[in-house]
Chain A
Amino acid sequence: MPVKIPAVYWEDVIIPTHLITQHKKISVQEIKHFAATFDPQPYHLDHDAAKESLFGGLCASGWHVCAIMMRLLSDTMEQDSIQFLGNEEIPGLKWLLPVFEDDQVQADITFTQKAPAMNGADFGTVDADIKVKNQHDKVVMALTATLMIKTRLSHGA
């Protein structure tokens, strides 16, 4: 049986903490499926049109890269037993480079600051700098996120 890591609550989070997520390879099928549902523009769906576009090739929707980042972040938090409740806010995000088919991405996460729970709230927030990099170690997307982390208090209540 794998050893269960004790739950990490907001009170337990140390500043700074640096986490590295798993890798995720993004297939052409995934790119097209997401695009067909949420972002049906030619450079996410059609190889020929994508070649002519400002990206120069078929690439994932920027919102798809956001969603993949969220999954990588969530899995890393789960693995480390950090009681992550989602994003309170994304203060800023930049899409810096296209993510092409079969690119492999990974996120670097640094917790930079903590803010205590508001009166009556069951979570505190942790600010994070997140950089999503491709297999060439180039940053494709950079963001700051205000993450909600459950407090120990809420757990007892």
Chain B
Amino acid sequence: MAHNDNVIRTRWFEDIPIGEFHVFGSHIFSEQEMIEFGTLYAPQIYHTDPQQALDTRYRGLIASDWHVCATWMRLMVNYMEKYALGVEDGRRNGAGVGFAGLKLLQPVRPGHTLTFSHEIIAKPDKVIRGKWGIIRSRNEAINHRGEVVFRVLIDILAQRAPT
């Protein structure tokens, strides 16, 4: 297990199998971090003010969709750091190129724990700048009740094996 995990980041594009599944980890969303994120980036009152949020359609404070995305990123980086040989290796350190179908399916409220998963679902037949391929993943978060609350398909670059 650990042995396989250690080579996650040092594999070439060609070596990454469709169907591979990872659980990046969990995060408990606090009221404070929701308000901090909302105040800076998504100033709708249900992201910034717990009292006024009670009178909105959400009946309380909820996390911004972008806050959930950013948290997904943090857990992915932590996971890759833990199981990679080092960030100097650039092959799986390729940047994201885009995403599709980003949606929050249920509100994320203070104290909720989200567990993030990542499944490789496709390797579109494209070569970027001569040396990168695209790895498409389905990313989901489930809450403490087991409900899927967040979903997004993300495309990330992975370096192709030298020919």
Contact = CB atoms under 8 A, between A and B. Distances in A.
Nearest to A75: B43
Contact of A88 (B66, B98, B100, B103): B103
B42 A92 contact: no
Given A54-B94, A67-B41, A68-B41, A90 B99 contact: yes
A123 B46 CA distance: 15
B40 interface: yes
Given A38-B71, A92-B100, A93-B102, A86 B65 contact: yes
A74 B69 CA distance: 18
The secondary-structure label for the interface of chain A is mixed
Contact of A122 (B57, B73, B98, B103): B57
B42 A54 contact: no
Given A39-B74, A41-B93, A92-B99, A71 B40 contact: yes
B111 interface: no
A41 B84 CA distance: 13
> How many interface residues does chain A have, given as a range?
35 or more
A95 B154 CA distance: 11
B32 to A, nearest CB: 13
Contacts of B103: 88-90
Interface in B120-163: 152, 157
A61 B72 CA distance: 13
A66 interface: yes
Contacts of A54: 90, 94-95, 157
Contacts of A42: 87
Interface of A: 34, 37-43, 53-55, 61-64, 66-68, 70-71, 74-75, 78, 84-95, 122-123, 154
10 contacts: A38-B74, A54-B157, A67-B70, A71-B43, A78-B43, A92-B100, A93-B100, A94-B98, A122-B57, A123-B57
